[in-house]
Amino acid sequence: MREINVEDITRTVEKLCIESNYYLPQDVKKALEDAVDKEESPLAKDILEDILKNQEIARTKEVPICQDTGLAVIFLELGQEVRLVGGDLNSAIDEGVRRGYKNGYLRKSAVDDPFMVRKNTGDNTPAIIHTTIVPGDKIKLIIAPKGGGSENMSALCMLKPSDGEAGIKKCVIDAVDRAGSNPCPPIIVGVGIGGTIEKTTLIAKQALLREVGQHHPNPLVAKMEKELLEEINNLGIGPQGFGGRTTALAVNIETFPAHIASMPVAINIQCHVARHKEAII
């Protein structure tokens, strides 16, 4: 049994909150650079180049890539041979978010009541925490700040199994088409298929963490990812909604076994900054 003090978790969360909001992942940067080369619209090409300039300014001056620094979504893998000491796990994560958003000068976007008073909590807590118990004596933390513009474009389709692949594709394409420019394209589209209503929405969000350009290991699912990406880019929405071939950089699908009577499909859209950062303790 390995002991880990929760203060180590707090310090790690603080660091990841700042870094995830300052630095664009390299896979996303490369996908944007590739999109510039492929884009046919001069305006769309200019917008993509501006996005790349923006991320470079954020990186060199250590400022947020986007003013919406999101709610702090945390994916925590806790080794079953770890014994936590020094305090409460969730409180330690919230303290890390609190420090990160204060010391990184990140916008606080959390309100304490979702539909009545809506008073800002002032420190971007509480975090959205997803905890999984895994083998081993380590802790893996992934922080994926999620902005409101892209999160608001999420969608859920409770399909019947008979709707098949065509029904899944229609659900995804319709969601992206309705979203239009709202999620700040070019986007990454996370798709969850299977499970239950809560499981499919969770794996749709987890799909956003996959490296851009890396396809699902199942060749049939990978084929659907490629076909959906092509159809989405044929919509003509383009960067920031000004038209062009680059509406999405990737479509990532994750699946889970489902009930014999169900085929839920969830879509979680991420804007072009696609922020996430991970660390292992």
Q: How confident is the model at residue 197 (pLDDT cuts 50, 70, 90)?
A: very high
Contacts of 54 (CB under 8 A, 6+ apart): 65
The tokens describing 270, both together, are: 């991420």
- pLDDT score of 227: 98
User: What is the average pLDDT score of the chain?
Assistant: 97
Contacts of 37 (CB under 8 A, 6+ apart): none
- pLDDT score of 181: 97
- pLDDT score of 131: 98
> H/E element holding 91?
helix 89-103
User: Do residues 96 and 112 make contact, with C-beta atoms less than 8 angstroms apart?
Assistant: no
Q: How confident is the model at residue 77 (pLDDT cuts 50, 70, 90)?
A: very high
Per-residue pLDDT averaged across 78-93, rounded?
Answer: 98
- pLDDT score of 56: 97
For the stretch 153-188, pLDDT in tens is: 999 999 999 999 999 999 999 999 999 999 999 999
For the stretch 14-25, pLDDT in tens is: 999 999 999 999
For the stretch 117-133, pLDDT in tens is: 999 999 999 999 999 99
- pLDDT score of 192: 98
What strands, in cross-sheet order, belong to the sheet with 277-280? 128-134, 73-79, 139-143, 277-280
Report how far residue 112's alpha carbon sits from residue 116's, in angstroms, rounded to the nearest whole number.
9
Q: How confident is the model at residue 266 (pLDDT cuts 50, 70, 90)?
A: very high
- pLDDT score of 156: 98
For the stretch 220-235, pLDDT in tens is: 999 999 999 999 999 9
- pLDDT score of 246: 97
- pLDDT score of 153: 97
CA atoms within 13 A on the CB side of 207: 32
